[in-house]
Structure 1
Amino acid sequence: MSSGTLKRMRLSEQTIQYIDAFAEQEGFTGARKNVVVEQIIKEHQDMKSKETSFITQEVASTVRKEMRQVLNKILLGTNNTDRNTQVLIELVNGMMVNENVSDIVTTDDMEAQPVRTAKACVHERIKHMQQHKATQTYKRKRMKD
């Protein structure tokens, strides 16, 4: 005798036909229906587990691809900024050597009007680029929908 719990259930004729067809197809001829039902449930659980694993892998793959694209853009922007900064340092250093400047006044001590003008210009340029990028992103999303 089996060590399971005895339960009585009402099953539709269609369900019984499915259990019988499954038993015949899988070679459970002569087996009790509870053995067949347990096998169907086991296969269903295995399939659900595999399905969950597959979905997890797909999500991870998609996130990896998206992150790679975003990080590549950031890396390119960082490289460009670093290159521009190094060029500016070299230019300023050359000017300092050419003018025989021995020391400087920092912007903490006194900020010249040209520096304030340059900061305002850069601030507006960045704001414009952010707005342009937001508009382009919005247009791409609308086209996908």
Structure 2
Amino acid sequence: MKKTQKNLYLLEDTIQYIENYGKENGGLKIGQALEKIIEEHKKLSNRYIDDIANAVVDKLHNDLVRIRLGTNTADRNTKVILELLNHVFIDKEFKKEYKNFITTEKYKSKSLIEAEAAVKKQVDTYRLKRLEREVKQKGE
């Protein structure tokens, strides 16, 4: 990489630190010492970010597991409600009461079929937008 000359104003303490660092690391010149200090700082910064990310994951892991389990319960309850509503719609469509419970495995009401199609379209649209965003971000 091409080096560029810059004139800098630094505090005496800073200059002394850079010079001492250069001496301790094989008699580096001020520019070399400063480059090495910056290189080490970048490495430490990246490691610090990784440490923070790992700490966040460790801290939130149990909470995330509970949220996932709660979501599964909500999903099951939603499916039960869906089955009940399907039965109500079938009951209304045919204007008679069924003695046995009708599940979506046996018959799906027109309303349920339309609702599923609408939700599928929404999910597909959202997924397509997300993929387009990801492709755009990778291209930048």
Q: TM-score normalized by structure 1?
A: 0.45
* Bigger relative CO (Cα 8 Å, ≥ 6 apart): 2
TM-score by length of 2: 0.46
Q: Which structure: larger Rg?
A: 1
